[in-house]
Amino acid sequence: MAAPILTASGVSKRFGPVQALQNVAFHVAPGEVHALLGINGAGKSTFIKILSGIIQKDGGQITVGGEEVHFRTPEDAIRAGIATVQQHPELVPDMTGLDNIFLGRESARRGLFSRIDQRGLERRAKALLSRFPVALDLTLEVGRMSAVEREAVAILQAIAGENTRVLILDEPTSTLTDIEREDLFALMGLLKAQGIAIIYITHQLEEVFAIADSFSIFRNGTCVARMTVDEAKAGRVSLADLMLGEAIGDIFPPRAATAPGDAVLEVGALCLQGDFDGISLTARKGEVLGIFGLVGSGCDELAKAIFGVTPPDSGTLRLRGQVVRLTSPRAALDAGVFLVPGDRRTEGLVLSRAALFNVPLANLRRAAAGRWSLRRRRMQGDARALTGDVALHPPSLTTPASGFSGGNQQKIVLAKGLYSQADVYIFVEPTVGVDIGARAKIYALMRQLSRDAAVIVISSDCDEVHGVADRTLALHKGRQVEPVSGVFSRDALLMAGIMGEVAQ
Amino acid sequence: MSGFQDNMRQSARGVGFLALVIAVGAALAIAEPRFLSSASLNGIARHMAANGLAALGLTFVVIVRRFDLSLPGVAAFAGMSMGAVIAAGAPLWVAVAAGIAIGAAIGMVSGVAISRFGLPDIVTTIAVGSICAGMAFLYTGGRSIFQNFFQVGITDLNDARLMGLGVSLWILLAIYAVAWFVMHRTRTGVAFYATGENPVAAHFSGIATKRYVALAYVLCGVCTALAVLLILAESGNAETNKGANLMMPAYAGVFLGAAILGGTSVLATLGGILLITMLLDGFALMGVPYYYSDGMISLILLAGVLAFSDTARGWLASFGIRRAFRRSAPGEKG
């Protein structure tokens, strides 16, 4: 392979008492797709932030194209040809794809009154699209685009600087469906063919073999392994073991050993115009019910309808045999339904606040327990016990939720759910952006919850639904698809969710 | 461990605040020795009571991350209404009840318009404030109301003393104590803060966020009416411009207190309004014309908020003043 375009050696970084990176060695060649793997907190993000100039290294050497570089700002990195697409790219939803791509670079001249050169913009866009022929209508507003189209716009925006030599993608596939993922991989192929090196962070290990040429694994702040995908295949290397530093077993807990108990939640012919129609299901104590559906299948809307966020147009809900009407989250919580929402950062947590604030939030009645004032000592004790139960790391009750990794933020939401003592727990996309160690813990907690409550897991990750649930069904374009008899196999579930058909 | 660090940081802020009060007091006393006279200190206590009530009302609104620019208008209308009730011969408590009811009703209008119907807070409160400012002229066409003021005993609110302190200061402290308890020790307070910091997550946690936004405006209206009541008590008459100077000190108190003491809270507002009132009264004693003092307070507000903001600290640090700031912010993430 060609000489490396980007190298790093001996890179280290310390945050206060925490050695975030130590003596990291790294290299990537032009046209190489290189996956960066590691559990949350392993140092991937810190390393990427150093490469993109967001933070500065304490020591070590980084070279681009053979020359040593010192990035003080993100602009320095961009000028050196390193473009980064953040995990949640910031785009202006009301502007078109084209306007977003050239935002801040509309004109070659810098000046308050320099006119936007519309024809020049179109020419540049055409040139960009001729290099990377993506099937994408750039005149559409970004707010009306799908997740993969937005990701493509963000990538085009990042590489519109013409001289991009290295592109960093931070978990680009975490919100994409399988089909969209293929589109993204196609775009990555085009970039690769242009000789751009791609560094790509992911938690989806099977993607590594699908798209990457090589990978590095970070653990405890250092790069513990670098190999090509061919080497890994030949040596039958387990990526998960390398990431965790120890052999892990199956991340899914064993299924329920005993027959499920009483029906807790019965959903009858639930309908919400435009989102889903005629959904009937029963969730029982003692089992995990899995629902698989892609983005747009109505899964998220179904969960929110049951939880009272957007009450359904018609249909019935029964809790423990009683018909209930849940018209608000308050009503749902009072009736004993708890939602672990799909977007934990906006729907699940007050990020600026610590676990001590977030954990009791959905059940303040319990926190006050009949008094005017909150029972603060008891609240603190409960929060400490529950964050311990979910193995929150670091086990701090006073660190703002924003300071935790994705997996540990989800654990705070789980502790909040445990505090609210519900009878029905609905999980939506429970492990998006969660590393494999925390995933295993979250699945185990679901299983534990199902002993005393009904648990419904809704996800666009077919393996997750199939792996964790005792009984599964699929949602396809708002309609439910159930197995003819018994349970879905993994492949049948996938077919049901993607095609809406039941395999015979 | 990090809880201990939080406590340390919080008490460091408290010590810093006390040092600032002493430094400002000393500077004003040196510039104008009369600043420490008992008449001046009593004046500060009285003015702090009025300013502090307006600032407390604003605190609720700022905690739910909104703005209320209707303060002067609400104060004018509530003040003239109370004056009219007193002039009609009603007892003081009736006038106070009328003022509170009017403040609450106006706050309810703004609050419901903003939370239930989603109108922009700034435009709505400017409009509501302007309407109220106009309605203040309904009673007398703008003439001062003073009839019955001395007979009804409203001036006792300004003059009477209890254990050596003016009764208005006691009123302020009592209301702040209740507000502190509600905002920092009850479910209601948690709901207010959650509504402000993430309304979506609060809604998903079963908190009636719209109700709390509306309630914040109601409380702000009530506090504004009480603030103007103390102003009427001091001057012994009601005029349409009585609340005109309430808003700037109130905003300055809330934001300066939050900047110094690390977040919007009842105690932060109390600290902020103490500093602001000291400065305002000090300037007045030194003979600074009133038309400059709002500007100077605003300047101090901007400087204070800048000096205590993390963004500004990082920005200053990039100019190489790093060492001075590093010690004050240990263990913060880069």
Q: For the residues A417-441, what does the mean pLDDT come to?
A: 90
Beta pairing, strands A166-170 & A337-340: unpaired
| The pLDDT value given to residue A6 | 92
B187: contact with A, CB 8 A cutoff: yes
> Which chain B residues contact residue A367 at CB under 8 A?
187, 190
Please, is B155 exposed, middle or buried when counting C-beta atoms within 10 Å of its C-beta (0-12, 13-18, 19+)?
middle
State the smallest CA–CA distance between residue A360 and chain B in angstroms: 9
Among chain A residues, the shortest Cα distance to B208 is held by A330
B200: nearest CB among A16, A347, A374: A347
Q: For the residues A178-188, what does the mean pLDDT come to?
A: 81
The b/e string for B114-138 (b: 16+ C-beta within 10 A; e otherwise) is bbeeeeebeebbbbbbeebbebbee
CB contact under 8 A, A347 and B2: no
> Which chain A residues contact residue B193 at CB under 8 A?
350, 353, 357
Q: For the residues B14-20, what does the mean pLDDT come to?
A: 90
Residue A338 lies in a domain: no
Cβ contact A217:A37 at 8 Å: yes
| The pLDDT value given to residue B232 | 95
Pair of tokens at residue B208: 């009636």
Alpha carbon distance B28, B41 (integer Å): 12
CB contact under 8 A, A329 and B198: no
CB contact under 8 A, A361 and B6: no
Residue A296 lies in a domain: no
B181: contact with A, CB 8 A cutoff: yes
> Which chain A residues contact residue B197 at CB under 8 A?
350, 352-353
The b/e string for B298-310 (b: 16+ C-beta within 10 A; e otherwise) is eebbeebbeebee
B197: nearest CB among A309, A347, A350: A350
Mean of per-residue pLDDT scores for chain A: 86
CB contact under 8 A, B334 and A15: yes
B187: nearest CB among A56, A333, A367: A367
Residue A54 lies in a domain: yes
> Which chain B residues contact residue A16 at CB under 8 A?
330-333
Chain A and chain B share a number of CB contacts under 8 A equal to 90
B4: contact with A, CB 8 A cutoff: no
Which of residues B263 and A348 earns the better pLDDT score? A348
Mean of per-residue pLDDT scores for chain B: 88
HSE-up (13 A, CA, CB side) for residue A59: 8
Pair of tokens at residue B268: 């932060």
Tell me the range of A304-308, A476-480, B13-17 where mean pLDDT is highest. Answer: A304-308
Tell me the range of A453-467, B8-22, B107-121 where mean pLDDT is highest. Answer: B107-121
> Which chain B residues contact residue A365 at CB under 8 A?
187
Cβ contact B211:B204 at 8 Å: no
| pLDDT tens digits, B138-191 | 999 989 999 888 888 888 888 888 887 889 999 999 999 999 999 999 999 999
Q: Which amino acid is at A159?
A: I
pLDDT of A279 above 70: yes
Residue A490 lies in a domain: no
- Which of A330, A364, A387, A413 to mutate against chain B (most B CBs within 10 Å)? A364
Alpha carbon distance A429, A347 (integer Å): 13
In DSSP terms, A28 is beta-bridged to A6
B204: contact with A, CB 8 A cutoff: yes
Q: Which domains does chain B have, with CATH numbers?
A: 2-326 (1.10.3470)
Residue A23 lies in a domain: yes
> Which chain A residues contact residue B198 at CB under 8 A?
346, 349-352
In this prediction, what percent of chain A has a pLDDT beyond 90? 36
| pLDDT tens digits, A295-341 | 778 899 999 999 999 999 999 999 999 999 999 999 999 999 999 99
| The pLDDT value given to residue B330 | 38
> Which chain A residues contact residue B334 at CB under 8 A?
15, 55-56
* Count of structural domains, chain A: 1
Which of residues A370 and B76 earns the better pLDDT score? B76
Beta pairing, strands A314-319 & A214-219: unpaired
Query: How sure is the predictor about B308, in pLDDT bands with cuts at 50, 70 and 90?
Result: low
State the smallest CA–CA distance between residue B209 and chain A in angstroms: 11
> Which chain A residues contact residue B205 at CB under 8 A?
329, 333, 361-362, 416
CB contact under 8 A, B197 and A332: no
B206: contact with A, CB 8 A cutoff: yes
pLDDT of A153 above 60: yes
| The pLDDT value given to residue A257 | 78
Domain span at residue A144? Answer: 6-244
pLDDT of A413 above 60: yes
Task: Decide: helix, strand or coil at residue A349.
Answer: coil
Residue A434 lies in a domain: no
B186: nearest CB among A341, A361, A374: A374
Count the neighbouring beta carbons within 10 Å of the beta carbon of residue B312.
14
Question: Sheet holding A59-64: strands in order across?
Answer: A18-28, A6-15, A59-64, A67-68
CB contact under 8 A, B2 and A396: yes
Query: Which CATH number belongs to the domain containing residue A152 in this structure?
Result: 3.40.50.300
In this prediction, what percent of chain B has a pLDDT beyond 90? 65
Q: Determine the straight-line distance between the first and last CA of chain B, rounded to whole angstroms.
A: 20
B185: nearest CB among A17, A362, A374: A374
Alpha carbon distance A105, A112 (integer Å): 13
ipTM, interface predicted TM-score of the complex: 0.84
- Which of A350, A365, A396, A428 to mutate against chain B (most B CBs within 10 Å)? A350
State the smallest CA–CA distance between residue A204 and chain B in angstroms: 28
State the smallest CA–CA distance between residue B188 and chain A in angstroms: 9
B192: contact with A, CB 8 A cutoff: no
Residue A98 lies in a domain: yes
Query: How sure is the predictor about A483, in pLDDT bands with cuts at 50, 70 and 90?
Result: confident
Which of residues A500 and A375 earns the better pLDDT score? A375
Alpha carbon distance B227, B47 (integer Å): 10
Q: Choose the weakest-confidence range: A379-383, A418-422, B174-178, B322-326.
A: B322-326
Residue A435 lies in a domain: no
CB contact under 8 A, A329 and B191: no
CB contact under 8 A, B187 and A374: yes
| pLDDT tens digits, B210-237 | 999 999 999 999 999 999 999 999 999 9
Q: Which A residues, 341 through 370, put their C-beta within 8 Å of a C-beta on chain B?
A: 341, 346-353, 357, 360-362, 364-365, 367-368
Q: Choose the weakest-confidence range: A102-111, A134-143, A264-273.
A: A102-111
Q: Which B residues, 304 through 333, put their C-beta within 8 Å of a C-beta on chain A?
A: 330-333
> Which chain B residues contact residue A361 at CB under 8 A?
190, 194, 201-202, 205, 207
State the smallest CA–CA distance between residue B2 and chain A in angstroms: 7
Give the DSSP H/E element, type plus range, for residue A125: helix A118-131
Among chain B residues, the shortest Cα distance to A16 is held by B331
State the smallest CA–CA distance between residue A192 and chain B in angstroms: 33
Q: Where are the alpha helices (DSSP H) in A402-461?
A: 406-419, 436-449
| The pLDDT value given to residue B6 | 57
Give chain B's largest Cα–Cα span: 67
